[in-house]
Amino acid sequence: MNMKKTAGLIISAIMILALSACSQDLDRPQQDDPADNNVEIPNPFTSYNTVEEAARDAGFGISVPENFDGYDIKSVQAVKDEMIEVIFENGNGDDISVRKAHGTGDISGVYNEYEQSGTVSGDSFEISIKGNGGMVNLATWADDGYTYAVYTDMGLSSDAMLELTAMIK
């Protein structure tokens, strides 16, 4: 083989190696692209076996029924010094979430738009209710320095939702 061909092959091989080293793998996300980071916010809730245990962590108690209209307590959780959540479940797997926290703001975590909304009178406070198709999905209210939220995806009748809110303190 002559010297020119050998030199040409060596130069070509060096150029191919240099180009492949400088190119990026298009199938792999680049580390410096913030849009590709899958960072999740850690769950602030801690699970407990009883409402009393959750109350110690939250720094305040909540009064809820043991069961309601075919729903039984499924889980109890709290955010330290902030919130208690009790989740009820019926035999069909439908859930009702009950939350309590200090303050007066909406703690439901529900941002759906509903066909109907309004307010009804509780014992000494107003309850904001929202829902679809004549059912109530969300009830929120504030009383005695605490804010409350009851949410169910399936919806409850107005009477059932008001009965449940009356049992929560």
Q: How far apart are CA 153 and CA 89, in angstroms?
A: 12
What is the spatial distance between Cα 113 and Cα 118, in angstroms, rounded to a whole number?
13
Query: Has residue 23 got a pLDDT over 70?
Result: no
- Is pTM beyond 0.85 here? no
pLDDT in tens, 110-158: 999 999 999 998 777 899 999 999 999 999 999 999 999 999 999 999 9
Q: Would you list the domain boundaries of the chain?
A: 46-166
pLDDT given for residue 5 in this prediction? 59
User: According to CATH, what is the number of the domain 46-166?
Assistant: 3.30.200
Paired sense of beta strands 67-68 and 95-102, if any: unpaired
- In terms of pLDDT, which residue wins out, 114 or 30? 114
Whether the per-residue pLDDT at 7 is higher than 90: the answer is no
pLDDT of 81-100, one tens digit each? 999 999 999 999 999 999 99
Q: How many helices (H) and strands (E) in the chain?
A: 3, 9
